[in-house]
Each structure stands twice: as C-alpha cells, then as structure tokens.
C-alpha cells in the first residue's frame, strides 16, 4: 500500500480589497520579498509536501514574474470567484497526482508568517484523525452579541475560536465537501464545508504570529513578527 502523502494548496487569487493597495496584497513587498514568496518558500522549506498547488487569477500579471512560479514543486491552477472556488480548482489540478487518502493542507497566500513549527504541530496532532482539522486561536477579548449598535448579550468565550490556516483534510473528502457546497456563501473556510457534511473537524492551537495580511497596518506587524521568529 502506498504511504499517505502531503500536499499544500494555496489560494492566491484574491484582489485584496481591504488592503486598498495598487496591486493584490500577495504581491506587496515585505522584508525584501513579496508576501506570496514568503508564504510559498516557508511551505516548501517545511520539507513535507509533494507539491504546492497555487490558485492564481487568470488576469494576474505578477505571478509569472516571480521565480517561485517556475519552482519544480509549484503547480499553478486557475483561481475562482470565491476563495472556496480557488481551493477547489487547485485540488482539481492535482487530481491525477493525489490519492483520496492523502492529506491536503490549505494555507492562505496572505499568511506569510507561517512557521515550520505550526505546520509540523498540525500534522503531528492530526495524523491519526479520521476527519482532520485546523489551526485556530482562542479569543482573548470579551465577545458581544450586537444588533443595531446595541449589545444583546455576552458570548461564552470558552466555546469561541478564530479559524486560521493551514486547514488539513483528506483529499477525497475535502474535494467532495467543496463540490457539494459550491456557490454557498457560508463556506468561508475548508472546515465549514466539512461541517456542512455533519463532520466535526478538530481544533489545533496555533501560534498568534500566523496573522493574515488584511489591512494596511498588518504589513508592519508581519514584518515585526518575521524579525522576531527563529524557526
């Protein structure tokens, strides 16, 4: 029997509207490289992936200019309308290579501070799991349920986690869950597609430096974290 393999999938076809920059945020410069180069080189240097399938917008002029786009472990797929469409497209691009039982780690291009520690911790925590799971962080702030500017109540924080990436699921069940959920706007991460199937993905506590670059101030924060990371 073939041993189970690991593949990374990187959705990188967003426009970065909230970043309000002159180009998609994955192509902004951060500590001497673009955001997406940091992300991809960190995934590649984790040393566990057969290949990294990257979903890129078909109108993207920046991607072919990057050396990493020609890396022999990088596969380019066409991006889709929503993040879930981009992930599904990247999964389809490796359908002749991956087995249903292989593990897929989906990681946002916009999270360049991902560490090998977090990748290996996620893999080690879930290797024997039937479903898979995600890196997540508990919330430090008190959380309010609000309607029309007024507080209706306080949520029980112990049950609330913030979903990060990578999110790790089996190739076959992830692809099927995304196909069934296609067009459903409630599917904002991979776990939600599996939850819709009645499955219960696991939570693995991630590092707080694995931030997603979303707004302009996040670039300086990512640079700060990179300067202070030692793995």
Q: Which of residues 193-212 bind ligand CTP (CB under 6 A)?
A: 212
Q: Please name the residues in contact with 200: beta carbons below 8 A apart, sequence gap of 6 or more.
A: 131
- Residue 187 interacting with ligand CTP (CB under 6 A): no
Report, in Å, the least distance between residue 175 CB and ligand CTP.
Answer: 16
Nearer to Mg ion, 15 or 78 (CB): 15
Residue with tokens 């707004």: 215
Asked if 108 interacts with ligand CTP (CB under 6 A), we say yes
- How many whole angstroms separate alpha carbon 108 and alpha carbon 177? 19
| Nearest residue to 49 (alpha-carbon basis) of 21, 74, 15 | 74
Which residues of the chain form contacts with Mg ion (CB under 5 A)?
14
Question: Measuring CA to CA, how many Å separate 173 from each of 5, 35, 91, 178?
Answer: 15, 30, 11, 9
CB 57, min distance to ligand CTP, A: 7
> Residue with the closest Cβ to ligand CTP?
14
The β-bridge relationship of strands 103-106 and 6-11 is parallel
Among the listed ranges 59-67, 82-90, 122-130, 197-205, the one in contact with ligand CTP (CB under 6 A) is 82-90
Minimum CB separation from ligand CTP for residue 164, in Å?
11
Interatomic CA distance for residues 213 and 147, integer angstroms: 28
- Whichever of 214 and 223 has its CB closer to ligand CTP, that residue is 214
């Amino acid at each position: 029997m073939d041993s189970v393999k690991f593949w990374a999938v990187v959705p990188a076809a967003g426009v970065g509207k909230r970043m309000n920059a002159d180009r998609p945020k994955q192509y902004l410069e951060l500590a001497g490289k673009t955001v997406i180069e940091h992300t991809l080189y960190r995934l590649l240097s984790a040393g566990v992936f057969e290949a990294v399938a990257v979903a890129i917008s078909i109108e993207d002029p920046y991607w072919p200019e990057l050396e990493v786009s020609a890396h022999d472990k990088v596969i380019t797929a066409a991006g889709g309308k929503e993040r879930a469409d981009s992930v599904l497209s990247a999964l389809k691009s490796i359908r002749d290579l991956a087995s249903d039982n292989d593990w897929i780690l989906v990681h946002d291009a916009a999270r360049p501070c991902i560490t090998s520690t977090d990748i290996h911790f996620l893999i080690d925590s879930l290797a024997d799991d039937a479903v898979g799971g995600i890196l997540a962080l508990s919330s430090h702030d008190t959380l309010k349920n609000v309607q029309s500017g007024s507080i209706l109540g306080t949520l029980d924080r112990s049950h609330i986690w913030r979903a990060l990436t990578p999110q790790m699921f089996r190739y076959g069940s992830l692809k099927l869950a995304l196909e069934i959920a296609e067009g459903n706007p409630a599917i904002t991460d991979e776990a939600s597609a599996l939850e819709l199937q009645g499955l219960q993905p696991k939570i693995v506590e991630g590092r707080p430096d694995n931030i997603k670059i979303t707004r302009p101030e996040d670039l300086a924060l990512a640079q700060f974290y990179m300067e202070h990371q030692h793995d």
